[in-house]
Amino acid sequence: MNGVFPSLCACGSRLRSARCCQLELAALGPSVANRHLLPLVDQAIACHARGEFAEAERLCLEVLDLVPGQGGALAILYQIRKAEGVLPAAEALLRRLVALDPNNVWATQELALLLFGKGDYGEAEIHAKNAVRSAPTDAQSHNLMGMIMTEANRPQIGEFHYRQALQLLGHRQPILLANLAWNLKNQGKMSESRALYEESTKLAPDMLQTLLGWARMEETDRDFARAYAILDQAEALFPGHHSILLHRAVIRGRVKDYDTALSLLDQLAQRNQGMGLGAHELLEKGRLLDKIGRYDEAFSAFTQGKRKNLDISGTVYMADHAAQLAQRLKAYFTANRLRIVPRAKPIASGPRPIFILGFPRSGTTMVEQTLSAHPKISAGDRLTFIHDITNLIPGMLNSPLTYPEALADLWMGDQYDGLDNLRDHYLQRVKQSGIIKPGSTRFTDRMPLNETHMGLIALMFPQAPLVHVLRHPLDIVLSVYSNHLTHGFSCTNQLETIAQHYVLVMDLVDHYRREMALKYMTIRYEDIIDDQETHVRRMLSFVDMPFDARYTKTASSAQVTEKLCDHSRYRYRHYLKHLQPVIPILEPIIHRLGYSIND
């Protein structure tokens, strides 16, 4: 299209580039000068309402070519492009509308939802928060915050906003109930989640997404028969729906019926009318093929899934941002500086944190499950509070600088106890999250990549144990590549960028260890699999907890008396030829950590 009309914007809006993505908003004139065009805008709105989309589009293009900041025309053209699936144009139009009218709650909500759909949870959160600020009594604003926080691994915050939305509505809205149920499922609160799904389906028995979410919850809770029964219920209402096939495939994979699972995915691909499988479906197929030893096909599926995800989301590794942050952290956290930086005081009372550090897919979940089987240790899961505090530091320390440079204000007389305040903020968030089980004296925080801020953690909690889970770097890169993850500056769509970010983070860890006194230990994923009880005792000794006799009776997902499955140990050996591009990147750190590369 743009070869014929070279002046049209590449985003697909069908506006001229000068009136679209190359537009300088600051050059726009006052809206009062454009009143003569309002009748055309009203006609476009009326045409759109009647379904006369071609005429509505023509009128909007005419208006926006003359006045590219006309809000009504932007809103209608956005809706047309969204309905057509021209998402780059829809996003560009919506961004302009929000930039010109930040208090437009509808547009702000729409932009948050569009970004959420792309998986850009960070920017989606910014706009959802603006929607809440602009319309704190609007249930949809809180619902959006709930959705975004849940999928961004901050479910406690999400739960708060879902409950706010229900309270504002004043009645039990079925979709909101299902959203809250999914949130609680992600927190491991299966009984509460199940009750909400039951309530939601009684109120609205024909909601497909509710039934699919419920089936996933039962699958997560390992009640596969019930999950399949719910999918049968969904099939009766929506026969042949592709999402039902996908969920059936996932469950068949969970019960190790891999051939049936793959057959279901093949059926799904055939039904998608030449579109093939989606990004998540391709990754699922790859993992199933891996289970049955078809490694070349598995890797091909992983690669197709990652490429499709990249095409849809457009998110690429923010290498410059990551490198700049690492450099600034290294520049601040130096031995000379840290000799005069104050530390937070010890925690006077209450449960204390154990920080389980590690790159995504390194084994931190297994370590947390193992430690939290101890009757005195609660599982905190992925707590985002350290990351949140890095954003709050300038305000809490009343500093004109950003983190980490804002920590220089700790030398000011009115901020000398600033680290105590940061520590107390973290502990208050933990208390509000409800993760502490009765009788616990410790809790875990296994947020992926918390090691990026290991220096800050050591300032806030000088006595807190830092348990760093290591795994063969090639296994980590392969596992990240085979799963849909959003951590690490969007590094996860390409092998090379995963490896680059891994090296950057491990180099930062080495810096912290050289420059600071830390209560730090490493534990190898492979060693735990080889001899779990020995290494559990070692970890418990390090965190100053006894090996309680009840421990072996309460361990669930990671029994200390049973040999763990070693399928994922040195899995990279099956994929060595595919991993060749990252071996030069990883080889120095592989040897530094005491690993080797074997085929």
203 domain-assigned? no
Summarised one tens digit per residue, pLDDT across range 125-148 is: 999 999 999 999 999 999 999 999
284 domain-assigned? no
**What's the pLDDT at 357?**
97
Asked whether the predicted pLDDT for residue 98 surpasses 80, the reply is yes
Summarised one tens digit per residue, pLDDT across range 68-77 is: 888 899 999 9
Confidence of residue 581 (pLDDT cuts 50, 70, 90): very high
Give the C-alpha separation, 409 to 397, whole Å: 7
| Phi, psi (degrees; rounded to nearest 5) at 192 | -65, -40
75 domain-assigned? yes
**What's the pLDDT at 242?**
87
Confidence of residue 598 (pLDDT cuts 50, 70, 90): confident
Summarised one tens digit per residue, pLDDT across range 265-286 is: 988 888 877 678 889 899 999 9
Instruction: Answer with the one of 59, 80, 101 that is the final residue of a domain.
Output: 101
pLDDT more than 70, % of the chain: 94
Residues linked to residue 445 through DSSP beta bridges, in sequence order = 355
Q: Could you tell me the CATH number of the domain that includes residue 42? A: 1.25.40
Q: Could you tell me the CATH number of the domain that includes residue 477? A: 3.40.50.300
**What's the pLDDT at 31?**
57
85 domain-assigned? yes
Give the C-alpha separation, 45 to 53, whole Å: 10
Summarised one tens digit per residue, pLDDT across range 374-412 is: 999 999 988 989 999 999 999 999 999 999 999 999 988
Give the C-alpha separation, 50 to 38, whole Å: 18
**What's the pLDDT at 557?**
40
Go through 560-575 and write b for each residue having 16 or more CB atoms within 10 A of its CB, e for each that does not: beeebeeebbebbebb
356 domain-assigned? yes
| Distances in whole angstroms, Cα of residue 154 to Cα of each of 179, 406, 521 | 14, 25, 27
| Phi, psi (degrees; rounded to nearest 5) at 231 | -65, -35
**What's the pLDDT at 1?**
41
127 domain-assigned? no
pTM, 2 dp: 0.82
Mean pLDDT of the chain: 90
How many Å separate Cα 13 from the centre of its chain?
30
Longest dimension (CA), the chain: 82
* Strand residues in 466-566 grouped as ranges (E): 466-470, 520-524
Q: What is the 3-state secondary structure (H, E, C) of 71-121?
A: HHHHHHHHHHHHHHCCHHHHHHHHHHHHHHCCCCHHHHHHHHHHHHHHCCH
Confidence of residue 550 (pLDDT cuts 50, 70, 90): low
Asked whether the predicted pLDDT for residue 558 surpasses 60, the reply is no
Confidence of residue 94 (pLDDT cuts 50, 70, 90): very high
Asked whether the predicted pLDDT for residue 484 surpasses 50, the reply is yes
120 domain-assigned? no
Containing structural domain, residue 82:
7-23+35-101
**What's the pLDDT at 551?**
56
Judge residue 273's burial from the number of C-beta atoms within 10 Å of its C-beta, 0-12 exposed, 13-18 middle, 19 or more buried.
exposed
- 3-state secondary structure (DSSP) of residue 419: helix
The domain tally of the chain equals 2
Asked whether the predicted pLDDT for residue 445 surpasses 60, the reply is yes
Give the C-alpha separation, 447 to 206, whole Å: 37
CB 357 within 8 A of CB 386: no
400 domain-assigned? yes
Q: Name the helix (H) or strand (E) containing 445.
A: strand 442-445
Token couple for 50 = 């009647």
**What's the pLDDT at 538?**
93
- pLDDT, mean of residues 553-569: 50
- 3-state secondary structure (DSSP) of residue 589: helix
Picking from 206, 208, 215, the residue whose alpha carbon sits closest to that of residue 182 is 215
Asked whether the predicted pLDDT for residue 5 surpasses 90, the reply is no
Asked whether the predicted pLDDT for residue 24 surpasses 90, the reply is no
| Phi, psi (degrees; rounded to nearest 5) at 171 | -150, 165
Q: In which residue are the tokens 């706009």 written?
A: 127
Asked whether the predicted pLDDT for residue 565 surpasses 70, the reply is no
pLDDT more than 90, % of the chain: 71
**What's the pLDDT at 171?**
93
Instruction: Answer with the one of 55, 83, 101 that is the final residue of a domain.
Output: 101
Summarised one tens digit per residue, pLDDT across range 287-325 is: 999 999 999 999 999 999 999 988 887 788 999 999 999
Instruction: Answer with the one of 77, 101, 125 that is the final residue of a domain.
Output: 101
- 3-state secondary structure (DSSP) of residue 276: coil
Summarised one tens digit per residue, pLDDT across range 222-254 is: 999 999 999 999 999 999 888 999 999 999 999
Summarised one tens digit per residue, pLDDT across range 145-186 is: 999 999 888 888 899 999 999 999 999 999 999 999 999 999
